[in-house]
Structure 1
Amino acid sequence: MSAVIRLSNPLIEDARLHAKASGRSVSEQIEYWTRLGKAVEDNPDLGTHMIQDLLAGIKDIKLQKLAPYHFGISR
């Protein structure tokens, strides 16, 4: 479902800068920040970097960009 929302110009410009650096669209950047903020509020005992790594892992799972891990074998 899509919805039109009003956001401040400074937020949009900040999102534009971060989006370009992250390879996301402005909408994707704002959605990412929203998911991150929600996850931080829902999990106050976890650090932000850990939550960012978890969100990245979830995205990789959805995109099927994972390789099997072989215990004890260094590559």
Structure 2
Amino acid sequence: MSINVKISDELGAEAKRYGRIYQRSLPKQIEYWSRIGKIAEENPDLPFSMIKEILLAREEGEHEMEEYTFG
């Protein structure tokens, strides 16, 4: 699902800059920051390096795991 959201020019410019560095589009960079923020709020004791590893593992797991049907 796609939604239009207004963000400040400053945030948009910073997200574009980081997106170029990490080869992400503007929306993907903002989604990435959003996921990091959500995990950080839910787990305040986790260091940033651990959060990055969690996101990487989730990304790899989505591509490698196939649904298994019992029976």
TM-score (norm 1): 0.80
- Cα-to-partner distance string for 1:5-57 (whole Å, 9 max, x where unaligned): 10001100100010011111110000000000000000011111101111011
Q: Which runs of 5+ in 1 are unaligned?
A: 65-75
SS at match of 1:24: coil
Structure 1 residue identity aligned to 2:44:
P
SS at match of 1:40: helix
SS at match of 1:35: helix
Structure 1 residue 60: Cα displacement: 1.2
Query: For residue 51 of structure 1, what is the aligned residue in structure 2?
Result: 51
Q: Which runs of 5+ in 2 are unaligned?
A: 65-71
Count of residues paired in the alignment: 64
TM-score (norm 2): 0.85
Q: How does 1:7-26 map to 2 (within 5 A)?
A: 7-26=7-26
Distance in 2, Cα, partners of 1:6 & 1:52: 26
Structure 1 residue 63: Cα displacement: 2.3
Structure 1 or 2: more helix by fraction: 2
Distance in 2, Cα, partners of 1:20 & 1:53: 21
- Aligned-pair identity (%): 36
Structure 2 residue identity aligned to 1:63:
H
RMSD: 0.8
Runs (4+) off by over 6 Å: none
